[in-house]
Amino acid sequence: MLRRTLWLIAGASLGAVACKDSTSVTDLNNVSAEALSGGLTRASTQLLVTGLINSTRGDLDSRYIVFSESMARDFYRLDNAENRYITETIGGPADYSGFLGGGAFSQFYVTVRAGNTILNALPSATGLSAAEASATKGLTRTFNAIALYRTLELRDSLGIAIDVNHPIEDPPAAFVCKPNALASISASLDSAAAELAAGGTSFPFTLPGGFTSNGKFDTPATFLRLNRAFKGKVELYRGLSRQKPNAGSFDAAITALTAAIGANPTTAAGMQDGVYNTYSTNAGETRYPIADANIFLNPAVGDSILAGDARKSKIQTVASKSLFGVTSTYKTVLTDPANLTRPAPIIKVSEMILLRAQAKIEKNDLAGATADINLVRTLDGGLAPIAVPATKAAAIDAVLYEKRYSLLAESAQRLVDLRAYSRLNATYLKKELSGDIFQSTLPIPKRELDTRGVTSISPTCS
C-alpha cells in the first residue's frame, strides 16, 4: 500500500514537473531578424534605411582614414602600444592577417548587405507608393555604390567582389578587376539616378541632420547631387585607370560633376556644401572616428603649406615626437581628441570642383582646370589665383596641393590620386623608413582568401 502510494506520488510529480514550464526562450537581448519576414512597412523602411546610413557613417572609420592617409604621407599614427600603424603603412608591406592589412575591408560589405536587405525586401513592401519605393531604391543603390567604391580605393588593382547579393549558403562572389568594378559601380550609380528621378518629391523616411546642414540633400531630386558627385569621381578614375582606361570617362565625369556642383559657389561656406556624417556622444551614438591624440601629421604636410594659406588653421605645431623611426612636430585640429562631434563630409563641393579640374586636365583643358583650381584656392585657401600652368604635370601638382589641404583627413582621396598619377614612388616622395616600399594598396585579407580556400586572387579583365 505504502509502495503504491509512493509510486503514484513519484509518477505524478514527474509528470507535473515535465509539463509545467514552456520549453522555449526567446532572444532576450536582440531584435530577431525574423521581425522583417512579414515584408517591409513604412516604419521598418525607416529602421533599415537609418541602419544603412549609419553603417555608411561607420565605414568612414578611423581605420579607413588612418591607413589610407598614412600611406598617402599625410598621417603618422604614433601609438606606443601599436607600431603597425607605421611599420605596415610606410615601414613595409601590411600583414594580410593582421588588423591593418586585413582591415578596412569587411565593413563595406556589411553596408552593402544592409543595402541589399532593403532592395530584396522592397518588392513586397506595403504602405509605400511606387515613387517612394523607387526613391528608396535609388538612395540605397547609391550608398551601396559608395561602399563598393571605398572598398576599391584601398584594394585598387587587386580587385573587389561586386555581385554579392546572394544567400550565405552560396559560393562567395567572384572578384572582378578594377576597370570592371568601376564600370559596374558607375552603371549602378546611373540606375540609382534613374530611380531617384522617378522617386517623386520626398523620401518616405527622414534623413539625419548631415543631409541638410550644408546645403539640402534630403529629397530624391537633391540627393541626386550626391549620386552625381560619386558618379563623377568614379568616372575620373575609370579614365585614369592604367589598366583598360575608358575613353569617354572624362567627359562623363565633367558632366556628372557639373550636375552635382550646380552653379559655382561664390563663398567659402558654399565650398563646404555637401552631405556630412554627424556624430554625437549620446548613448548608442557614434563619435567622430579620428578624435585621436596619437595622430600626428607627416612633416611634409606642415612643411609644404604656403604662407598665407587659410587652411593652415587645420595644422598645429606641437612638441616633437619620435617613435618607430619617424618624427613629427605637427598635428591637425581635425584629429583633436576633445572634439567628438565634428561633422565629417562624405563628399563636399570643393572636392567635386577639384575632381572636375582633374578631369579637365586629362581633356587638356588646362585653362578650365585652372579656373576650378583657383575657385578652391581663393575661397578655401584665401590665396591669390595661379596662372594657367604650362604643363599637365604642373597642373596636376597644383590640383594635388589644393586637394591635400582642402580635403585633409576626409577620405582615401590622396592615396587614390598619388596612385593614379604614378606618384607613389621615390621620384615624388621621400622614403620614410628603410623598409618603405611605397605601398599603394592594402592586401586582400587572409581571412577572405582562407574562406575561399585559395592563396591568392587575381581577377582577369575581359
Partner 1 sequence: MISQNSGAPGGGMQVQLRGVTSINANSSPLYVIDGIIVSNTAINNGLNSITTAGAGVTNSQDQAVNRIADLNPADIENIEVLKGASAGAIYGSLASNGVIVITTRKGVSGRPSGSVTQRFGQFTLARKLGLRCFGSAAEVTKAYSAADAAEYTANGGACHDLEQQFYSGNPMSYETDASFRGGSSATTYYVGGLAKRDNAIQRNTYYQKQSMTANVSQVFGSHVTVRANNEFVHSLTDRGISGNDNNDIISPGDVFASTPTWVDLQSGIRNPWLPSGSNAFQNADLVKTPEDVYRYIGSVNSSVSAYTSPRQALDFHFIAGVDAFSFNGKIVSPPDAYFEPNDGLPGTIVANKSQNVSANLNLSGAHKFISDLVTATTSFGVRQGRRQSNTLVNRGQNLPAGVSDVNFGVVQTVSENQFLVKDFAYYAQEEMLGLGERLLLTGGVNFERTSVNGDDKKFYAYPKTALSYRIPFLPKFTDELKLRVAYGKAGNQPPYGYKFTTLPISVYDNVLGARPSTIAGSPTIKPETSTEFEGGFDAQFFGGRAGVDFTLFKKNVTDLILSASVANTSGFSTRLLNAGSLQNTGTEIGLSATPIQRNNLNWVSRTTFANVDGRITSLGGLPCFNGGSFFSTKYGAPYVCEGYSPSAVQARNGWDSTFTSAGAFVSRARRITTFESAPDFNMGFSNEINIGPVRLYTLLDWRHGGKVANLTNAYFDPVTNDNLGFLADTAASHARNDAVNINGASYLEDAGFVKLREISLAYTLPRFVTQRIFSSLTQDVRLEVSGRNLKTWTPYTGYDPEVSNFSNQNIGRFQDVTPYPPSRSVFVSLTANF
Cell of 413: 582621396
Q: Does 399 bind partner 1 (CB under 8 A)?
A: no
# of chain residues touching partner 1 (CB under 8 A): 100
Return d(Cα 425, Cα 403) in angstroms, integer: 19
Q: Does 168 bind partner 1 (CB under 8 A)?
A: yes
Cell of 77: 599614427
Among 63, 113, 150, 228, binds partner 1 (CB under 8 A): 113
Return d(Cα 85, Cα 104) in angstroms, integer: 13
Interface segment toward partner 1; rule CB under 8 A; list 92-100, 217-225, 233-241, 380-388 = 92-100
Comparing CA positions, the residue from 141, 120, 103, 148 lying closest to residue 44 is: 120
Are the CB atoms for 273 and 265 separated by under 8 Å? yes
Comparing CA positions, the residue from 459, 292, 264 lying closest to residue 373 is: 264
Residue type, 392: K
Q: Which is nearer to partner 1, 17 or 390 (CB)?
A: 17
Q: Does 455 bind partner 1 (CB under 8 A)?
A: yes
Show the site string, 279-298: x = touches partner 1 by CB under 8 A, - = not: -xxxxxxx----xxxx----
Q: Which is nearer to partner 1, 46 or 246 (CB)?
A: 46
Q: What is the DSSP letter of 34?
A: G
Full DSSP string of 363-403: TT-HHHHHHHHHHHHHHTT-PPPPPPPSSHHHHHHHHHHHH
Show the site string, 173-202: x = touches partner 1 by CB under 8 A, - = not: x-----------------------------
Q: Does 212 bind partner 1 (CB under 8 A)?
A: no
Q: Does 1 bind partner 1 (CB under 8 A)?
A: no
Comparing CA positions, the residue from 290, 289, 320, 294 lying closest to residue 83 is: 294
Q: Does 38 bind partner 1 (CB under 8 A)?
A: no
Show the site string, 359-398: x = touches partner 1 by CB under 8 A, - = not: ----------------------------------------
Among 8, 38, 106, 306, binds partner 1 (CB under 8 A): 106
Work out how close the CB of 309 gets to partner 1 at its nearest, in angstroms, rounded to a whole number: 27
Full DSSP string of 202-227: S-SS---GGGTSBS---SHHHHHHHH
Q: Which is nearer to partner 1, 37 or 267 (CB)?
A: 37
Return d(Cα 44, Cα 51) in angstroms, integer: 10
Q: Which is nearer to partner 1, 103 or 232 (CB)?
A: 103
Interface segment toward partner 1; rule CB under 8 A; list 110-118, 182-190, 248-256, 259-267 = 110-118
Helix (H, G, I), strand (E, B) or coil at 342: coil
Q: Does 31 bind partner 1 (CB under 8 A)?
A: yes
Q: Does 6 bind partner 1 (CB under 8 A)?
A: yes
Sequence-separated (6 or more) residues with CB below 8 Å from residue 155: 105, 441, 442, 444
Q: Describe the crossing of helices 62-71 and 130-155 by its angle, rounded to 10 degrees.
A: 40
Interface segment toward partner 1; rule CB under 8 A; list 233-241, 369-377, 417-425, 447-455 = 447-455
Return d(Cα 254, Cα 234) in angstroms, integer: 11
Among 41, 42, 99, 388, binds partner 1 (CB under 8 A): 99
Interface segment toward partner 1; rule CB under 8 A; list 3-11, 186-194, 298-306, 374-382 = 3-11
Q: Which is nearer to partner 1, 299 or 325 (CB)?
A: 325
Sequence-separated (6 or more) residues with CB below 8 Å from residue 231: 186, 189, 190, 193, 252, 253, 256, 260
Are the CB atoms for 210 and 276 separated by under 8 Å? yes
Show the site string, 318-337: x = touches partner 1 by CB under 8 A, - = not: ---xx-xx----------xx
Q: Which is nearer to partner 1, 82 or 397 (CB)?
A: 82
Comparing CA positions, the residue from 44, 60, 36, 48 lying closest to residue 343 is: 60
Q: Does 307 bind partner 1 (CB under 8 A)?
A: no
Q: Does 340 bind partner 1 (CB under 8 A)?
A: yes
**Hey, which residues between 47 and 76 contact partner 1 (CB under 8 A)?**
47-55, 57
Q: Which is nearer to partner 1, 49 or 359 (CB)?
A: 49
